[in-house]
Amino acid sequence: MKAQVLQSWGGRLTLVDRPRPAPEAGEVLVAVRACGVGLTVLNYMSGQLGRPETLPRIPGHEITGVVAEVGRDVTAVRAGDRVMAFFYLTCGRCEFCRAGRDALCRDPRGNLGVHRDGGYAEFVALPEANVLPLPERVPFIEGTAIPDAIATPYHVCVSRARVHVGDRAVVVGAGGGVGIHMLQMMRFFGARVVAVDVDDTKLARCRELGAESLVNFRAPDAEAQARAALEGGATVAVDLVGSEQTLAWTFRLLGRGGRMVTLTTFPDIGFQVISRRMVLDELEVLGSRYCSRAEVLSAARLVQDGMIRPVVSRAVPLEEVESLHAMLREGRLLGRGAVTFEA
């Protein structure tokens, strides 16, 4: 099979021929039809998620495809099933896994495309627990956005920020792969959304997808614009950029009773929180880490029913995946990209 392989941290991928993997006991072999491309892959390739002993590795975790073969002891998946992949490799036994909080697993095995080979290849072998059904009406390319870029916002809105009708929300980094689905998810749960980005073309697309107000972060009066649009401050604020500047900026926009959610994990990046203001305004600062399997399935139903529109703006063959990486680095990719194996 053809595969793109990372040989060294910070390096480029190498297109190679690899033997087709055989599923072991409890595993499923998936013929990959598409694999999403987002910033998590670039962070991994730079060495932020893996360890030296995990190389060489085939990246890619936002996988959709068709089950080609099942190993022994597989009970819930059959050859021919349309599937998508779950990112975290969890133990399935600890109290968090049993409670449906998969992302907090006490004994994790790592991440798909990081600690075992992922979807930048024609075939991938996955644990049965990491294979979830892809709805029949969802195309493979659009489906790549579900397991991460759409399910993560679902987790934020339902389990962390508790978004509801009447919320005044701001999304910083709204034109990115998670951000453009975050604003849709917030709209679905009843919030009025202010979209913040540095690209006017991306902001225009955010307007089409339901943002009521647009703010270019580079504008001299960007904070004043956002504050005016939020009419007294945000009740929900999400920062998807994760710089010291954007974190502090987002926190300042909170109104009384506001909840701020951050999803980035860059080392040693933080911002100052004033205890007095936290108390007087009863503010909440929340971290949010991926999602559960159940939340991926809920997100898939929203896509199937047309409530959330996957934004995968560019799909390329495996040989051209580095062109998507270049667009990501330059901030030119709207929403998600994807590698496709479809003719």
Q: Residue 49: its pLDDT value, please?
A: 80
Q: Residue 132: its pLDDT value, please?
A: 98
Domains of the chain: 2-148+291-340 (3.90.180.10), 162-287 (3.40.50.720)
Cβ neighbour number for residue 64 with a 10 Å cutoff? 29
Tokens of 27: 């595993």
**How far apart, in whole angstroms, are the C-alpha atoms of residue 154 and residue 181?**
9
Q: Residue 232: its pLDDT value, please?
A: 86
Those residues whose C-beta lies under 8 Å from the C-beta of residue 127, and which sit 6 or more positions away, are 26, 27, 28, 89
Q: Residue 343: its pLDDT value, please?
A: 59
Tell me, what DSSP letter sits at residue 128? G
* Structure-token match 């956005």, residue found: 145
Q: What does residue 34 show for φ and ψ, rounded to 5 degrees?
A: -160, 155
Nearest Cα to 160, choosing from 306, 307, 284? 284
Q: How far is C-alpha 104 from the geometric centre of its chain's CA atoms?
A: 16
Tell me, what DSSP letter sits at residue 212? S
pLDDT digits (tens, 9 = 90+) for 54-104: 899 999 999 999 999 999 999 999 999 999 999 999 999 999 999 999 999
**How far apart, in whole angstroms, are the C-alpha atoms of residue 244 and residue 86?**
30
Tell me, what DSSP letter sits at residue 136? T
Mapping DSSP to helix (H, G, I), strand (E, B) and coil, where does residue 328 land?
helix
Per-residue pLDDT of the chain (343 residues), as tens digits, is: 999 999 999 999 999 999 999 999 999 999 999 999 999 999 999 988 877 778 999 999 999 999 999 999 999 999 999 999 999 999 999 999 999 999 999 999 999 999 999 999 999 999 999 999 999 999 999 999 999 999 999 999 999 999 999 999 999 999 999 999 999 999 999 999 999 999 999 999 999 999 999 999 999 999 999 999 999 899 999 999 999 999 999 999 999 999 999 999 888 899 999 999 999 999 999 999 999 999 999 999 999 999 999 999 999 999 999 999 999 999 999 999 999 997 5
Can you point out the beta strands (E) in the chain?
2-6, 13-17, 27-37, 63-70, 82-85, 88-89, 110-111, 123-127, 131-133, 168-172, 192-197, 213-216, 234-239, 254-262, 284-287, 312-316, 336-340
Tokens of 333: 């990719």
Instruction: List helix spans (H) across 121-168.
Output: 140-143, 151-155
* Structure-token match 């080609």, residue found: 68
Q: Residue 53: its pLDDT value, please?
A: 77
| C-beta of residue 88 within 8 angstroms of C-beta of residue 108 | yes
Instruction: List helix spans (H) across 256-315.
Output: 275-280, 293-304
| C-beta of residue 196 within 8 angstroms of C-beta of residue 173 | yes
pLDDT digits (tens, 9 = 90+) for 143-165: 999 999 999 999 999 999 999 99
